[in-house]
Amino acid sequence: MTSRVVVVSGAGGFIGGHLVDRLRRMPGVKVRAADIKPSDDWYQVFPDVENHAGPLDGDVRDFGVCRRLCRGAADVYQLSADMGGMGFIENNKALCMLSVLTNTHMLLAAQEAGAGRFFFSSSACVYNADKQKDPNLTALAEADAYPALPEDGYGWEKLFSERMCRHFREDFGIQTRVARFHNVYGPHGTWCGGREKAPAAVCRKVIAAKASGDHSIEIWGDGTQTRSFMYIDDCVEGILKIMDSGILEPINLGSSEMVTINQLVDIAESIAGVKLERRYKLDAPRGVAGRNSDNTKIKGYLGWEPSISLRDGIRKTYEWIDGQFHRGGHQSDARGMTSSTFSHGSKPIPGDGFMAESRHMDTWKQAIPAGYGPPSA
Q: Contact region for ligand GDD (CB under 6 A) — 36-44, 69-77, 236-244, 278-286?
A: 278-286
For residues 321-350, which are near ligand GDD according to CB under 6 A? 340
Q: How far is CA 371 from the centre of its chain?
A: 31
The reply to whether 203 sits near ligand GDD by the rule CB under 6 A is no
Q: In the bound complex, what is the minimum distance in angstroms from residue 235's beta carbon to ligand GDD? A: 11
Q: In the bound complex, what is the minimum distance in angstroms from residue 263's beta carbon to ligand GDD? A: 11
Nearer to ligand GDD, 30 or 286 (CB): 286
Of 177, 197, 210, 241, the residue at the interface with ligand GDD (CB under 6 A) is 197
Q: Contact region for ligand GDD (CB under 6 A) — 62-70, 180-188, 269-277, 366-374?
A: 180-188
Q: In the bound complex, what is the minimum distance in angstroms from residue 223's beta carbon to ligand GDD? A: 7
Instruction: From the candidates 154, 185, 231, 318, give the one annotated as an active-site residue.
Output: 154
Q: In the bound complex, what is the minimum distance in angstroms from residue 140's beta carbon to ligand GDD? A: 10
Q: Please tell me the count of residues contacting ligand GDD according to CB under 6 A.
A: 27
For residues 213-232, which are near ligand GDD according to CB under 6 A? 219-221, 225, 227
Q: In the bound complex, what is the minimum distance in angstroms from residue 287's beta carbon to ligand GDD? A: 3
For residues 145-164, which are near ligand GDD according to CB under 6 A? 154
Residue showing the smallest CB distance to ligand GDD in the complex: 85
Q: How far is CA 346 from the centre of its chain?
A: 19
Q: In the bound complex, what is the minimum distance in angstroms from residue 293's beta carbon to ligand GDD? A: 8
Nearer to ligand GDD, 183 or 295 (CB): 183
The reply to whether 83 sits near ligand GDD by the rule CB under 6 A is yes
Residues 110/164, Cβ–Cβ less than 8 Å: no
Q: Is 92 helix (H, G, I), strand (E, B) or coil?
A: coil
Question: In angstroms, what CA-CA distances link 7 with 24, 66, 71, 248, 355?
Answer: 11, 10, 10, 20, 39
372 is catalytic: no
Query: What whole-number distance in Å separates Cα of residue 182 and Cα of residue 294?
Result: 11
Of 53, 86, 107, 209, the residue at the interface with ligand GDD (CB under 6 A) is 86
Closest CA to 15 of 185, 174, 243: 185
Query: What whole-number distance in Å separates Cα of residue 131 and Cα of residue 127?
Result: 8
Nearer to ligand GDD, 34 or 83 (CB): 83
Binding mask 94-133 for ligand GDD (x = CB under 6 A): -----------------------------xxx--------
The reply to whether 8 sits near ligand GDD by the rule CB under 6 A is no
Residues in the chain: 377
Strand blocks (E) in the chain: 4-9, 29-35, 50-53, 73-78, 117-123, 175-181, 184-185, 216-220, 226-228, 230-231, 251-253, 258-260, 277-281
DSSP assignment of 201-241: HHHHHHHHHHHHS--EEEEETTS--EEE-EEHHHHHHHHHH
Query: What whole-number distance in Å separates Cα of residue 208 and Cα of residue 355?
Result: 35
The reply to whether 15 sits near ligand GDD by the rule CB under 6 A is no
Q: Helices (H), strands (E): how many in the chain?
A: 12, 13
Binding mask 279-308 for ligand GDD (x = CB under 6 A): -----xxxx---------------------
Query: What whole-number distance in Å separates Cα of residue 250 and Cα of residue 155?
Result: 14
Query: What whole-number distance in Å separates Cα of residue 352 and Cα of residue 65?
Result: 32
DSSP letter at 249 equals S
Neighbours of 372 (CB within 10 A): 9
Residues with active-site annotation: 154
Q: Which residues bind ligand GDD (CB under 6 A)?
A: 83, 85-87, 89, 123-125, 154, 181-183, 196-198, 201, 219-221, 225, 227, 261, 284-287, 340
